[in-house]
Amino acid sequence: MASLSTDVSHLRVSTRDIPESQRTAFWREEFARQMCRLEFESLSDNPLDVEANLLALPGLSIGWCCSGAAARWSRTSDLVKDGDDTFALVMPLAGAVQRSQRGQDVEVKLGEAVGILHSEPGSLEFRQLDDMVVMVPRSALAPLVPDVEAAATRIVANDALRLLQTYLLPWRENFDVTDPAVRRLSVTYIHDLLALALGSTRDAAEIASGRGVRVARLKAVKADIAANLTSRDLSVGSVALRQRVTPRYIHMLFDGEGTTFSQHVLVARLACARRLLLDSRHAHQSIAAIAYASGFGDLSHFNHAFRRRYGATPSEVRREQVR
């Protein structure tokens, strides 16, 4: 268990680090029962090949699990006696999962999610799976969602779910929120998005729209910009189309940060160009080639904007790197 601070822990576990003959016993006894309070049953004759990544914060836990073979995870009648009131939202990232609880069996696929209550017997079964599970105390959802038990029976597939996934996926590889106040805000935003995905009350939805949704939307927009930074076709219209919002809404998001869409793109492209100029692997490239590779279509505009941003010309920055 890697402790990031007094209130955050991050755990990565892989059966590949364990001899094949000991994998199933370790995963069932040490990981599933002791760490996760779950029963684990392998449904394959092949050697167990599972990798798990768990992040725990106050009021929120997130798990990512990648399994190459069929298996079943379950909360049994004995385990539910532990008093755990966690609500878990299961989101397949690849493959599908069969959720069984309250006499209801549902299959959940990519782009969908389903809840499961830790306070009641239930199970998840799959052939192969890569999934993300968001776990929060049911008491945290109760003020936001009219009927948490009913919400756990429905398949979720909506825009709030997509925003929740976009917000959380980068944390799988790198959780770098070091400020405790920012961590607390992040947990609040995730509670908001989770409630919206499940079907929040009107008051909670209004609060979330001005809080968690705006943060997640802006993060998704910035990720879209970063992914298309070098495209000459990058525009507020193209981003809005991909994100299924209006250009006006994107402008409002950046207004809230005291900047504009165009300014954010310019700063990001300049930073990209500066990284290339300082990278010896690109020393053979001309200034013009680096400018174009960073998304600029006008060399004069690039030179002027670069000097205004960094107080030096691109050539001067490159010469400093050589020294």
Superfamily grouping for domain 228-322: Homeodomain-like (1.10.10.60)
pLDDT of residue 195: 87
Phi and psi at 265, nearest 5°, equal: -65, -45
Could you report the per-residue pLDDT of 10-34, keeping only the tens digit for each?
888 999 999 988 998 999 998 899 8
CA angle at residue 57 from 51 to 62, to 5 degrees? 35
Residue with tokens 């299924």: 244
Residues of the chain with CATH 1.10.10.60: 228-322
pLDDT tier, 253 (very low <50, low <70, confident <90, very high otherwise): confident
pLDDT of residue 203: 55
Residue with tokens 């980068």: 170
Classify burial at 26, counting beta carbons within 10 Å of its beta carbon; exposed 0-12, middle 13-18, buried 19 or more.
middle
87: β partners: 117, 136
User: Is residue 94 over pLDDT 50?
Assistant: yes
Could you report the per-residue pLDDT of 269-312, keeping only the tens digit for each?
999 999 999 988 888 899 999 999 999 989 999 999 999 999 99
Higher-confidence position of 200 and 274: 274
CATH architecture of 2-222: Sandwich (2.60)
User: Is residue 184 over pLDDT 70?
Assistant: yes
Asked whether the beta carbons of 144 and 201 are under 8 A apart, the reply is: yes
> What ranges in the chain are assigned the alpha helix state H?
20-25, 138-141, 148-151, 159-168, 180-198, 202-209, 212-227, 236-243, 247-255, 261-278, 287-293, 299-310, 314-322
From residue 86, how far is each of 114, 118, 137, 148, 221 by CA, in Å?
14, 5, 4, 11, 31
Question: What is the pLDDT of the chain when averaged over all its residues?
Answer: 87
pLDDT tier, 210 (very low <50, low <70, confident <90, very high otherwise): low
Q: What are 123's two structure tokens?
A: 């199970």
- The residue type found at 241 is L
Residues of the chain with CATH 2.60.120.10: 2-222
pLDDT of residue 132: 95
* Of the listed ranges 109-113, 148-152, 212-216, 279-283, the one predicted with least confidence: 212-216
d(CA 297, CA 309): 18
pLDDT of residue 11: 87
Mean pLDDT of 132-139: 94
The three-class DSSP label of residue 238 is helix
